A and B are shown apart, each in its own frame.
Chain A
Amino acid sequence: MLGKLIKHEWKSMYKMGCLMLGAMAIVTFLGWLSFRSLFRAMNGDTLDPFGWMDIFGGFTMMIYVMLLVCVSAGTIIYIGVHFYRTMYTDEGYLTHTLPVTGHQILISKILVSGLWTMIVLLTIYASFILLALSAIFSLEPIDISFAELMDGLGRLVVEMEAMLDFDAMRLLASWILITLAGPFITTVTLFGAISLGQLVSRGRLLMGVLFYVAIMVAKQLVTIMLKGFASSAGMYLNMNFNVGFIVDLFAAAVLYALSYFVISRKLNLI
């Protein structure tokens, strides 16, 4: 039954996901245009360094950043609304009368929503990388090869490791782990907050949003407090991901349990 739940959850969400990916493609194209014009101007390719292309470049760069925020926030908002609608409004009458367990319902929603969040996150990374490469090759279109670029980056990282006393590989491993697990943790946190909102009698959706904000603030505070033990910048960087990840993981476990408690013991559809 879990497979069927995942299949139908995927079917009900893939259009939104494709829409977000399409938006990311457009955003990246705008960003590429903006970078290209900006760096060409810096390189002296254009006759008038303060011409309309610069204005266009600056403007599209601003739009690029704004749209990136919109796409990532839009994904989270859509996922939250979809979860609320299918679990705690009229559609919940169907969801909760299916012959499946509460764990199966939650896991299917977490997997599909988390996967879409991860896909959108990866496209944001890809967008950044494309733009960074575009900028670099706009500055030095002929002289730098990809191998030289990577070599230069490697040397830069080694210098930074020595200067700041941190482990770049560990940081990279943590970053990859967070990229893969983070979207699912975010999803569980969001679902947990929305489910907690069901425990109040009025304004449940609003309370869910407030719980989400409160949980995010509380997680940040705990992470900052724990990172206060760092004695150097490198140690801070090393701890930054690890501590934050552990706090997130712990909070996600608690919020999953709370979500399950709400749907199995405290369900009260209006």
Chain B
Amino acid sequence: MNGLVEILGLTKAYDEHHVAVSNISLTLPRGKIIGLLGPNGSGKTTLIKMLNGLLMPTAGSIRIGGKPVGVETKAHVSYLPDRTYLSGNKKVKQILDYFADFYKDFSRERAVGMLQSLGIEPDARMNTLSKGTKEKVQLILVMSRQADLYVLDEPIAGVDPAARDYILRTILNNYNPNSSVLISTHLIGDIEQVLDEVIFMRYGHLVLYTSVDNVREKHGKSVDAYFREVFAC
């Protein structure tokens, strides 16, 4: 199997009463856009943080491109967190310099092109930009890398529908076909059109990992409708 990410028996427990991710095993292939779906508190962000080395697993292992999470995998994983992680004091062009210095796979030309298409000035300071524009800048930076794995945590939350369309277009137009994109979101209806596979999580457990086509064929529903059925309150 053409496995890009191999997760085996992954568990994260903050204490004995709070297990955020419980014994998850799965293999993510290359060349797919995968939706990581689940209600609040289902462990999506915890799983994403462990993929990026921001949290250490309590048990189990993650291998990306055959290597355990560390310096080498960070060079090949492009991560968009669910918050603004860029310093407000920096200019956009300074952040481009930063990415160009640390990520060999970063294409400055591509980033500048996308910024220009949105009319974002490289001399603009981050703290002068609107929330939506900051999110777009972050997405542009992340998608301007030729990474093996793109991990996008809630990339379309909190932005207007026009911005959502732009974000989805950016993801589709810029990801490398040999790489995979893992997108965590609540807004399944908006993103379903671009997904190849879906992962459903609940209470830290893996509920389902299958292709979008399989969901439609087997259950005769869209992923959004099936998600609402599975996670009905």
Residues of chain B within 8 A of A97, CB atoms compared: 52-54, 74, 77, 79
CB-based contact A266/B102 at 8 Å: no
CB-based contact B84/A4 at 8 Å: no
Q: How far is the CB of A129 from chain B (nearest CB, A)?
A: 35
CB-based contact B103/A93 at 8 Å: no
Residues of chain A within 8 A of B55, CB atoms compared: 267-268
CB-based contact B101/A99 at 8 Å: no
Residues of chain A within 8 A of B116, CB atoms compared: none
Q: How far is the CB of B73 from chain A (nearest CB, A)?
A: 8
A169 at the interface (CB under 8 A from B): no
CB-based contact B72/A267 at 8 Å: no
B83 at the interface (CB under 8 A from A): yes
B71 at the interface (CB under 8 A from A): yes
Q: What interface size band does chain B fall in?
A: 20 to 34
CB-based contact A98/B85 at 8 Å: no
CB-based contact B101/A8 at 8 Å: yes
Q: Known contacts being A8-B101, A90-B84, A94-B86, is A99 close to B72, with CB within 8 Å?
A: yes
**Total count of chain A residues near the partner, CB < 8 A:** 24
CB-based contact B71/A99 at 8 Å: yes
CB-based contact A4/B101 at 8 Å: yes
CB-based contact B85/A90 at 8 Å: yes
Q: Select B83's contact among A93, A264, A266, beta carbons within 8 Å.
A: A93
**Extra A-B contacts (7), CB below 8 Å, given A96-B54, A97-B53:** A90-B84, A93-B83, A97-B54, A97-B77, A99-B74, A267-B55, A267-B56
Q: Would you list 21 pairs from A and B whose C-beta atoms are within 8 A, ordered by A residue?
A: A4-B102, A90-B81, A90-B84, A92-B85, A93-B54, A93-B79, A96-B52, A96-B53, A97-B74, A97-B77, A97-B79, A98-B102, A99-B71, A99-B72, A99-B74, A99-B102, A100-B102, A101-B71, A265-B56, A267-B54, A267-B55
Which residues of chain A have a CB within 8 Å of any CB of chain B? Answer: 1, 4, 7-8, 11-12, 86, 90-94, 96-101, 264-269
Closest CB pairs A-B (n = 9) = A99-B75, A93-B85, A99-B74, A93-B81, A94-B85, A4-B101, A90-B83, A90-B85, A98-B102
